[in-house]
Amino acid sequence: MKSNIKIEEVGDINSDYPYLEVFYGGDSAPFLEVSINNMKLSFRIYSSEKDIVLNPEDWEYIHKVAEEFLIRALKNEDDYLNWQG
């Protein structure tokens, strides 16, 4: 089954961690932001003029990518802090 979900990682110089923007279909604006808050995933749902309908596979995909992102982002930040001494 082809997913309607596209996920992009975004870096922000003002934040310790990057975040994920989640898009539905071919939309140019994300409907969801996945960030790290207190070393845990945080999900921010943006308001939209149209309904976003996700199936269980879409949710599983978003969660899987988010969990992998969390592990990688925490490790990268830890490695960076250790490198700086």
| Cβ neighbour number for residue 30 with a 10 Å cutoff | 21
pLDDT tens digit string along 12-36?
A: 888 889 999 999 988 999 999 999 9
Token pair 């982002």 is at which residue? 73
Query: Which of the residues in the chain have pLDDT under 70?
Result: 1-2, 77, 79-85
DSSP 8-class letter at 14: T
CB 5 within 8 A of CB 26: no
Mean pLDDT score across all residues of the chain: 90
Supply angle C-alpha 24, 74, 62, rounded to 5.
20
